[in-house]
Amino acid sequence: MKTVLCICTFRRPEGLRKLLETLPNIDGTENLEIVVADNDSAGAGLAVCAELTTQGYPFKLHTVPAGESSGISAARNAACLKALTLHPEQLAFLDDDEWPEQQWLTELLRVQQHCNADVVGGPTRPVFPQGTELAVTVNPYYGADMALPDETQCQLQAGGNFLIKADVLQTLAPEFFNPAFAHSGGEDLAFFTQLHFRGHSMFWAANAIVHEPVPEARLQEGWIRQRVVNIHNSRVRVMQLMQPGLSHSLVRGLKTTVLGIVAVASTCLAWLGPKWSERARQLRWKFQGKMSAHCGHATVRNESY
């Protein structure tokens, strides 16, 4: 069975190189081809692919320029369209700042076959700089790990580590990933939520592990604050698309109001200690993101994908 691996890249040529140089060392790649979609108008990612090809890279590398101003959704869509022309049975997805463990692909395929799954996702584990405080390393907003038992049925959320049957993906053509989330993030959540509403089965592969470095810049309060705001803004916007109508809007608004009340109460208890203070500020950020979506505003992610 042919698998095509889709990788979107934007101004991270060294991360892309590390990922591509890791892939020959993993299991289950006997019939693997790779598509790289590059949002960088300078084509730094495409240059890495060209260089590796001239050096005898063991996999077929297909490249697609996606246009810098069009955002992550366009890159994902371009990668999907190109990959489907190669007639695979399934497509896998990784980000350009990740690298997989040796059993990554075989575990995705095993769970897919054993569970007859339409889509399978796995954990993305953050790799922190040496000396990072423990309180930071346990923050769930780093990486993307649902921490579920192997082969658990679920709705997936993050698009940096998953595998999907080609015929299932084809049903979403031509806009697999919604352009409305191109610059805010959340295009992957919208993608999986749409699949969920269409009745497609999704399962968790706990041992299909990839790793993602956490740069020093992401340890700053401003970064984590913007990430929390963006995530919860996107969650409301996704459900506005999936469940329109006054009744659904009222329920979402009520839930956000309750969240705001809890955030205020937690802030009043922040003096009890660091854990309470951290919980309070994350609740405030969640409320901010959700309220901005209720007011019709989409946040913007101010960093590479």
Domain boundaries, the chain: 3-218, 221-294
pLDDT at 158 over 70: yes
Those residues with Cβ within 8 angstroms of residue 152's Cβ, 6 or more apart along the chain or in another chain: 203, 204
Instruction: Return the H-helix or E-strand segment holding 67.
Output: none
Cα 35 to Cα 60: distance, rounded to the nearest angstrom: 8
Residue corresponding to tokens 């769930």: 140
The two structure tokens encoding residue 288? 């901010």
Q: At what angle do helices 246-268 and 221-242 cross, to 10 degrees?
A: 160
Q: Give the pLDDT of residue 275.
A: 83
Q: What is the pLDDT of residue 69?
A: 67
Give the pLDDT of residue 304. 53
**% the chain with pLDDT above 70:** 98
The yes or no reply on domain 3-218 and CATH 3.40.50.720 is no
d(CA 289, CA 294): 9
> What tokens appear for 34 in the block?
């790779």
**CA nearest neighbour of 294 among 237, 245, 244, 226:** 237
Dihedral pair phi/psi, residue 239, rounded to 5°: -70, -25
C-alpha distances (whole Å) from 129 to each of 101, 112, 143, 220, 225 are 19, 34, 14, 13, 19
- From residue 255, give the alpha-carbon distance in Å to each of 67, 177, 192, 244: 38, 27, 22, 16
Return the structure tokens found at 256.
Answer: 């956000």
For 177-224, the pLDDT digits (tens) are 999 998 888 999 999 999 999 999 999 999 999 999 999 999 998 999
Q: What is the per-residue pLDDT across 42-93, written as a single tens digit (0 to 9) for each? A: 889 999 999 999 999 999 999 999 876 678 999 999 999 999 999 999 999 9
H or E stretch including 254?
helix 246-268
Q: Which is it for strands 161-165 and 99-100: parallel, antiparallel or unpaired?
A: unpaired
- Can you give the pLDDT at residue 301? 76
Of 69 and 238, the one with more pLDDT: 238
| DSSP string computed for 186-232 | -HHHHHHHHHHHTT--EEE-TT--EEEE--GGGGSHHHHHHHHHHHH
Please give the mean pLDDT across all residues of the chain.
94
At 4 the three-state DSSP class reads strand
CA distance 279 to 101: 33
